[in-house]
């Protein structure tokens, strides 16, 4: 009985004799493709065909390819560098829940070093994306290698998305928003490679006021604090007293943190700020029991002075922005509440932070 292969090869031979070379070649390729080639030799047709007198035989010139030696299967190479990422997350504890964004810089895949963490608290009407864009902190993190956490205030907690720094139940350890934010930071430290000695917090306006509260409430967690256009802890207890503190300056607070308990703090404030009076910058250091050195440095765009404790150790740095309003100094105009003029608050805060790991 004639096999299908023999039938296809006979048809190819007939096509060759009739001069239909293209169809003959296609028939041969079809025949060869329909029949598995025996190992370990494979035949590769060259396209040269010779016709025999015997109609049943068609010779196909071929070359013998040596059998391939066994080669272990090659695995895909593991990436040597993890790219930077900016991802969304959600945190909840017994006191509430907040969304957040986390920036992680690119790093070598095997690099397991613990990195500094900077917590950035946005101002009223802002959100994490806006604040990251305006401050440029992610760009600094990508260059210098640290994590940036942007908690988001919900509109349900405050219609203007302000952190509730002016309410008595959000001003102390273990209460309200300070406890939620501290819980979020601790969870992040447990799930990421964070250096516990280099965790910092900074904020603008309401975010700056909440950053001051976090430093006072959790000095064992935050190594240093940055307050831009904000107010000291306990400046107000309701909306009415909040507007008074913002407009005229916070009154000295009784029963504040004991001297030395507040982490090192850097303050930026415009002297033309009509939203939060610039005297609140002084109040932050006074509440911590610090004194200003008389040797302030003055430049065209700003003045800078240091604050020291009773032993003369530097514990604070104050930048007064000449003609500055209620905006992040040196910020990007693509974000809200930014002023590209003047010193770069983000870079200066970072410099100050890294000089002050938690003792």
Give the Cα separation of 312 and 52 in Å (integer): 108
Query: Can you read off the two tokens belonging to residue 283?
Result: 């109040």
Sign of CA dihedral 296, 297, 298, 303: negative
Q: Determine the angle formed by the axes of helices 239-248 and 279-287, rounding to 10 degrees.
A: 110
Give the Cα separation of 240 and 247 in Å (integer): 11
Question: What pLDDT does 287 receive?
Answer: 93
Count the alpha carbons within 13 Å of 257 in the hemisphere toward its beta carbon.
26
Strand partners for 266: 226, 317
Q: How many CB atoms lie within 10 A of CB 351?
A: 12
Query: Can you read off the two tokens belonging to residue 353?
Result: 């932070």
Residue 12 has phi, psi (to 5 degrees) of -65, -40
Query: Can you read off the two tokens belonging to residue 127?
Result: 């959100």
Give the Cα separation of 173 and 188 in Å (integer): 19
DSSP per residue over 15-31, as a string? HHHTT-HHHHHHHHHHH
Per the CB < 8 A criterion, the answer to whether 237 and 168 are in contact is yes
Give the Cα separation of 317 and 141 in Å (integer): 22
Torsion of CA 256, 258, 262, 268, to 10 degrees: 50
Place of tokens 């401050």: 135
* Residues contacting residue 289 through CB under 8 Å, at least 6 positions apart: 258, 259, 260, 309, 310
pTM exceeds 0.95: no
Give the Cα separation of 61 and 332 in Å (integer): 73
Question: What pLDDT does 17 receive?
Answer: 63
Question: Domains in the chain, please, with CATH?
Answer: 4-60 (no CATH), 84-355 (3.40.50.1820)
Residue 308 has phi, psi (to 5 degrees) of -125, 160
Strand partners for 224: 200
- List C-alpha distances in Å: 163 to 11, 205, 317, 336: 86, 9, 24, 17
Per the CB < 8 A criterion, the answer to whether 33 and 14 are in contact is no
Give the Cα separation of 257 and 164 in Å (integer): 19
Q: Are strands 96-104 and 147-151 parallel, antiparallel or unpaired?
A: antiparallel
Strands, DSSP E only, in 94-230? 96-104, 107-108, 115-121, 147-151, 194-204, 224-228
pLDDT (tens digit, 0 to 9) for every residue of the chain, 359 residues total?
555 556 666 666 666 566 665 666 666 566 555 444 444 333 333 333 333 333 333 333 344 444 545 555 555 556 688 899 999 999 999 999 999 999 999 999 888 899 999 999 999 999 999 999 999 999 999 999 999 999 999 999 999 999 999 999 999 999 999 999 999 999 999 999 999 999 999 999 999 999 999 999 999 999 999 999 999 999 999 999 999 999 999 987 655 566 568 999 999 999 999 999 999 999 999 999 999 998 889 999 999 999 999 999 999 999 999 999 999 999 999 999 999 999 999 999 999 999 999 97
């Amino acid at each position: 009985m004639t096999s299908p292969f023999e039938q296809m090869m006979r048809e190819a031979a007939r096509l060759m004799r009739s001069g239909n070379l293209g169809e003959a070649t296609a028939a041969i390729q079809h025949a060869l493709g329909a029949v598995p080639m025996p190992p370990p030799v494979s035949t590769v047709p060259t396209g040269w065909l010779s016709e025999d007198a015997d109609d049943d035989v068609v010779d196909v010139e071929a070359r013998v390819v040596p059998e391939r030696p066994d080669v272990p299967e090659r695995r895909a190479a593991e990436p040597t560098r993890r790219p930077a990422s900016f991802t969304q997350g959600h945190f909840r504890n017994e006191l509430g829940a907040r969304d957040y964004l986390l920036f992680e810089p690119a790093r070598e895949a095997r690099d397991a070093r613990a990195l500094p963490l900077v917590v950035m608290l946005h101002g009223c009407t802002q959100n994490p994306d806006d604040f990251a864009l305006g401050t440029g902190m992610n760009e600094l993190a990508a260059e210098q290698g640290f994590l940036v956490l942007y908690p988001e205030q919900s509109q349900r907690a405050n219609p203007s998305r302000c952190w509730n720094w002016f309410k008595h139940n959000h001003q102390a350890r273990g209460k309200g928003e300070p406890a939620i934010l501290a819980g979020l930071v601790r969870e992040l430290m447990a799930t990421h490679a964070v250096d516990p000695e280099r965790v910092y917090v900074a904020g603008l306006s309401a975010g700056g006021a909440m950053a001051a509260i976090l430093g006072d409430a959790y000095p064992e967690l935050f190594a240093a604090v940055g307050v831009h256009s904000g107010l000291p802890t306990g400046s107000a207890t309701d909306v009415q007293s909040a507007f008074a503190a913002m407009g005229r300056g916070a009154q000295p607070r009784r029963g504040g943190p004991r001297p030395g308990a507040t982490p090192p703090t850097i303050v930026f404030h415009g002297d033309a700020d009509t939203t939060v009076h610039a005297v609140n910058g002084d109040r932050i250091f006074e509440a911590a029991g610090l004194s200003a050195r008389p040797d302030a440095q003055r430049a065209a765009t700003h003045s800078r002075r240091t604050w020291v404790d009773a032993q003369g150790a530097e514990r604070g740095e104050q930048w007064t922005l000449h003609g500055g309003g209620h905006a992040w100094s040196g910020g990007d105009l693509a974000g809200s509440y930014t002023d590209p003029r003047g010193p770069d608050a983000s870079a200066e805060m970072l410099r100050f932070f890294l000089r002050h790991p938690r003792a």
